Structure 1
Amino acid sequence: MKNYFLFILVMSSFKMIAQTSVADSLLQIGNYQAAIERYKVGPESEFKIARVYTQMGDVYAALASYEQGFKRDSLSLQPRFEYARIALGNNDPVTAFDKLLKLTTEVPDNASYHYYMGKAYEDLNNDAAAISAFAKAVSLNTSYRAARIELVKLLLKNRKFYKAIQSATIGLNIYPEDIKMNSLIAQSYLGGKRYDKAIAHFELLFSLGNDTDFNRKNLAWSYFNDRQWQLAIVNYEWYNRDYEEGNSQVHFIMSQAYLKLGKLDLAQDYIERSIAFKTPELHQEYLQLATIYVRQEDYKNAFYATKKAKKEKSDNDLIGYQYALAADQYYADKPKKLEFYEEFIKQYPESAFQDLANARAKDLRKEIFLAPKK
């Protein structure tokens, strides 16, 4: 009888193994429902069924199956890790955090646990803790690309440009042509005002075929800030041609670049384009147009451009003062000049330019008083 029961037990085991093997095969060919039915026949199958539901995209059924499994086995690492990842992907960082905190405590040298802990912290809007978690992940596994990318992104977001550059450099030492890492280090150099370094990485991105509007605009901006005016113009022209012709700010910067090169006609052309594209506030553009007119000794048009700037931004005392200066240059009649300074003094009583305006008004009154009477 003893041998009989042993025979039955062995046969039952073989049957369960066969059922599992069949279920595994069904899972591999994507016959998920049939795999689930086969797994249900065997004992301790909750975690396997949960993984099938995960592949099906049925998140809630997967989580429910894991929870059933935890009633039997709450200590196994793999199911707990899988559960945390699903919860994280289901916008439930609190549940994920609870599982991951225990995992990182029990197995502190597992880089992946720290990486997903960082993702949970990020979803909980705790950037400082997320940075620490991602940094721990890459310290445990230097080649952990996903963790390094998240780390550099957060350092960049929080304006920790030097640390972002340091970490991205390590990543690029492993794979120098990594497009994502080159993009992040280029942005970090740009944020840190290391424009020459930013240029090198943006140019590399183009050589790697990563020609995007973001890269083109930032390359042009880097050249502009590196005082390479002509290359800035060339890249902005490519941006206008390939991506966005009507960007007012781009035309404004191009006007500035042409002004730096002394090409006044082109500077005027592009600032007028900027004005045409931009609404509703145009005060900066009109002020630049006025600057160009002054350089051309066209004081009449400089005055009217400044007048338009003041109309756009009437509460700005600097523009108000520049308006008075423009009138001073344009009008020959001293009483007329005085009117504009008196208007400024009255309109902007708290302005830092009050002393200058009062001094000029005083001089004009004296000149008017001393002028020969007709």
Structure 2
Amino acid sequence: MQAQTKKADTLYQMGNYSKAIEAYSIDSTKAYNQQMIAKAYHNLENYEKAKEHYEMAIKIDSTSSFQQFELAKLYYKTSDYTKAINLYNKLIIKDSLNPTLHYNLGLVYENTNQKPLAYTYYKNAYRLDTNYLKASYKLAAAALLNHQYDYCLKLIKEGLATNPNNLDFINLMAVYYYNESDYYRAIPYFEKLIDHNQTSATIYRRLGICYYKAIEIEKAIDAFTNQKYFEPYNPDIPFQIGKCYLKLNEYEKAEEQLLEAITLKSVTFTEEYNSLAFAYQQQEKYKEAIKYYELVLKENPENTFMYYKIAVNADKLYTNPKKVLTYYEKAKEHVDIPYFLNGIDKRIKELNEQIATTSN
């Protein structure tokens, strides 16, 4: 059996997870084997099987905190929040000075919309270890959102002192200065994000505004032009570039950009968005499909059939039946085609039964 376990360990370490599972399963009475089967299933992204075998390992050896810790993380990952909360609380009773346990429990509470409780646990994690940057970032981001600027700045400075290259805190400092209209100080932080390939439409837009306010007009034009790669149909971009050219007294270029802004402002892209959403759906990229179906709705609120399409894609994307149910209930409120209403009603019934079964 020792040789068999060694063989299974080698298979696991080499990434041959299915074969490792077979080898470990020869002796399923050992907690270690059950734990390794669970880890192999986790690596195969078969999370339900992974949870099942961690639970078996804990039944065999209830003293192993590691198995419980891994199982709690899996409960969270699969939106099994009640079990995750219960297990993290048990672990905290045994190891109350472990900041990761408090932080992870905070994540669970945040995802169940219990934010005050979540931030209590983030504070616990930070109190136990002021270098625990994930926890201090959560607190700093919340402080910025709640206009607690002094506390926010204190946490950001601590975070950057611990790790000057932490991109979360660099981004937070950039946003902090931007919100404070301290554009000169915001610029180097936005530039540092871009140097680290942290690019987005929002970052380029804010950097463009900072450059404009700092009278670095050519750099502002470059920033807005880069934003355009992310948002080619955003009419605000040529408008901002047009303003820059006005500052430079380049009126023909300003006119060209401002006319483009006016043209874009008058155009809608309902058909294009719908087609793109369908293309994403066919590729099983359901998150992107939902995004573009929602854009169709934004441009044409009368096209209520989009609620059904959004619900169908949400059903594919999310594993939490309660979350999926909200999409179908919204679709039921808006869709008036009998054939699809029947399908919506059927799915709502199935989801309610699934929720009831899980609760029991």
TM-score category by the smaller chain? 0.5 to 0.7
Instruction: Give CA deviations for 1:191-215 in whole Å, capped at 9, x if unaligned.
Output: 3333222212012223445454432
Please give the alpha-carbon distance, in whole angstroms, between the structure 2 residues aligned to 1:230 and 1:273.
20
How far did residue 190 of structure 1 move? 1.9
How far did residue 162 of structure 1 move? 4.5
Give the match for residue 239 of structure 2.
Answer: 252
Unaligned runs of 5+ in 2: 269-360
Give the match for residue 117 of structure 1.
Answer: 105
Matched, 1:279 2:269: no
Matched, 1:197 2:182: no
Question: Is 237-246 or 23-32 further displaced after alignment?
Answer: 237-246
Matched, 1:131 2:131: no
Per the alignment, do residues 154 and 93 of structure 1 end up closer, same or farther by CA in structure 2, a change over 3 Å counting? Answer: farther
1:227-306, aligned counterparts within 5 Å? 227-228=214-215, 230-231=217-218, 233-239=220-226, 242-257=229-244, 268-279=255-266
Please give the alpha-carbon distance, in whole angstroms, between the structure 2 residues aligned to 1:122 and 1:262.
51
Give the match for residue 177 of structure 1.
Answer: 165
Per the alignment, do residues 91 and 235 of structure 1 end up closer, same or farther by CA in structure 2, a change over 3 Å counting? Answer: same
Per the alignment, do residues 62 and 197 of structure 1 end up closer, same or farther by CA in structure 2, a change over 3 Å counting? Answer: same
Please give the TM-score of this superposition, normalised by the length of structure 1: 0.60
Instruction: Give CA deviations for 1:5-45 in whole Å, capped at 9, x if unaligned.
Output: xxxxxxxxxxx444433332332232322332234264774
Question: Is 66-75 or 116-125 further displaced after alignment?
Answer: 66-75
Please give the alpha-carbon distance, in whole angstroms, between the structure 1 residues aligned to 2:109 and 2:158.
24
How far did residue 274 of structure 1 move? 1.6
Aligned residues: 265
Per the alignment, do residues 32 and 272 of structure 1 end up closer, same or farther by CA in structure 2, a change over 3 Å counting? Answer: same
Matched, 1:24 2:9: yes
Instruction: Give CA deviations for 1:300-329 in whole Å, capped at 9, x if unaligned.
Output: xxxxxxxxxxxxxxxxxxxxxxxxxxxxxx
Matched, 1:166 2:154: yes
Give the match for residue 358 of structure 1.
Answer: none
Matched, 1:68 2:53: no
Percent of aligned pairs sharing the same letter: 25
Question: Is 16-25 or 214-223 further displaced after alignment?
Answer: 16-25
Per the alignment, do residues 233 and 201 of structure 1 end up closer, same or farther by CA in structure 2, a change over 3 Å counting? Answer: closer
Give the residue type in structure 2 aligned to 1:251: P
User: Counterpart of 2:28 in 1: which secondary structure?
Assistant: helix
Please give the alpha-carbon distance, in whole angstroms, between the structure 2 residues aligned to 1:280 and 1:162.
44
Per the alignment, do residues 105 and 231 of structure 1 end up closer, same or farther by CA in structure 2, a change over 3 Å counting? Answer: farther
Give the match for residue 342 of structure 1.
Answer: none
Q: Is the 8 A contact 1:164 1:185 kept in 2?
A: no
Per the alignment, do residues 19 and 269 of structure 1 end up closer, same or farther by CA in structure 2, a change over 3 Å counting? Answer: closer
Larger Rg: 1
Unaligned runs of 5+ in 1: 1-15, 282-374
Instruction: Give CA deviations for 1:217-271 in whole Å, capped at 9, x if unaligned.
Output: 21012233x3526256433453266544542112333444555667666655543
Give the match for residue 222 of structure 1.
Answer: 210
Per the alignment, do residues 240 and 145 of structure 1 end up closer, same or farther by CA in structure 2, a change over 3 Å counting? Answer: closer
Per the alignment, do residues 20 and 266 of structure 1 end up closer, same or farther by CA in structure 2, a change over 3 Å counting? Answer: closer
Please give the alpha-carbon distance, in whole angstroms, between the structure 1 residues aligned to 2:36 and 2:231.
52
Q: Is the 8 A contact 2:207 2:220 kept in 1?
A: no
Please give the alpha-carbon distance, in whole angstroms, between the structure 2 residues aligned to 1:223 and 1:102.
52
1:88-103, aligned counterparts within 5 Å? 88-103=76-91
Please give the TM-score of this superposition, normalised by the length of structure 2: 0.62
Give the residue type in structure 2 aligned to 1:279: S
Q: Is the 8 A contact 1:122 1:130 kept in 2?
A: yes
Please give the alpha-carbon distance, in whole angstroms, between the structure 2 residues aligned to 1:43 and 1:207.
48
Please give the alpha-carbon distance, in whole angstroms, between the structure 1 residues aligned to 2:167 and 2:108.
26
